[in-house]
Chain A
Amino acid sequence: MTVILNQSFTGISIGAVLLLIALGLTLTFGQMGVINMAHGEFIMAGAYTTYVLQKSISSAGVSLLVALPVAFLVAGAMGALLEWLLIRRLYTRPLDTLLVTWGVSLMLQQLARDVFGAPNVQTHAPDLLTGNISLGGGITLANNRLFILGLALLCVLGLTLILRLTPLGRRVRAVVQNRDLAEVSGIATERVDRTTFFIGSGLAGVAGVALTLVGPIGPTMGTNYIVDAFLVVVVGGIGQLKGSVITAFVLGVLQSVLEYSTTVSVAKVAVLVAIVAFLQWRPQGLYTLRTRSLA
Chain B
Amino acid sequence: MSGEGLTIRDLRVTFDGFTAVDGVNLDIQPGDLRFLIGPNGAGKTTLVDAVTGLVKAGGSVRFGDEELLGRPVHRIARLGIGRTFQTATVFEQLTVLQNLDIAAGAGRGPMTMLRRRKGIPEPVANALQTTGLTDLRDRAAGVLAHGQKQWLEIGMLLVQDVKLLLLDEPVAGMSHEEREATGELLRRISAERTVVVIEHDMDFMRSFARSVSVLHAGKVLSEGTVAEVQADPRVQEVYLGRASEPEPELAPESEPQPEPSAPAAATAAEEA
Contact = CB atoms under 8 A, between A and B. Distances in A.
Interface of A: 178-180, 290-295
Given A290-B15, A290-B16, A295 B271 contact: yes
A291 B271 contact: yes
B15 A179 contact: no
Main secondary structure on chain A at its contact with chain B?
A: loop
B270 A180 contact: yes
Contacts of B272: 293-295
A276 B249 CA distance: 55
B205 to A, nearest CB: 24
Contacts of A291: 271
Contacts of B49: 292
B266 interface: yes
22 contacts: A178-B267, A178-B270, A179-B270, A180-B266, A180-B270, A290-B15, A290-B16, A291-B271, A292-B15, A292-B46, A292-B49, A292-B55, A292-B271, A293-B271, A293-B272, A294-B54, A294-B85, A294-B268, A294-B271, A294-B272, A295-B271, A295-B272
B72 to A, nearest CB: 14
Contacts, number: 22
Given A180-B270, A294-B85, A295-B271, 12 more contacts: A178-B270, A179-B270, A290-B16, A292-B15, A292-B49, A292-B271, A293-B271, A293-B272, A294-B54, A294-B271, A294-B272, A295-B272
B106 to A, nearest CB: 19
Of the four ranges (under 10, 10 to 19, 20 to 34, 35 or more), the interface on chain B belongs to 10 to 19
Contacts of B270: 178-180
A179 B16 CA distance: 22
A180 B270 CA distance: 8
Nearest to A291: B271
Instruction: Give the 4 A-B CB pairs with smallest separation, nearest first.
Output: A293-B271, A294-B272, A180-B270, A290-B16
Contacts of A293: 271-272
Contacts of A180: 266, 270
Interface string B228-272: 000000000000000000000000000000000000001110111
A274 B267 CA distance: 37
Contacts of A179: 270
A60 B226 CA distance: 82
Nearest to A294: B272
Nearest to A180: B270
Nearest to B20: A292
A179 to B, nearest CB: 7
A178 B267 CA distance: 9
B45 to A, nearest CB: 8
Interface in B38-70: 46, 49, 54-55
A295 B270 CA distance: 11
Nearest to A179: B270
A290 B85 CA distance: 20
A216 to B, nearest CB: 46
A222 B54 CA distance: 40
B54 to A, nearest CB: 8
Contacts of B271: 291-295
Contacts of B46: 292
B203 to A, nearest CB: 28
A290 B17 CA distance: 11
B80 to A, nearest CB: 22
Interface in B156-209: none
Interface in B110-138: none
A180 B266 CA distance: 9
A293 B15 CA distance: 12
A291 B268 CA distance: 11
B167 to A, nearest CB: 17
Contacts of A295: 271-272
Which of B49, B55, B267: most chain A Cβ within 10 A? B267
Which of B49, B54, B271: most chain A Cβ within 10 A? B271
A217 B15 CA distance: 48
Contacts of A290: 15-16
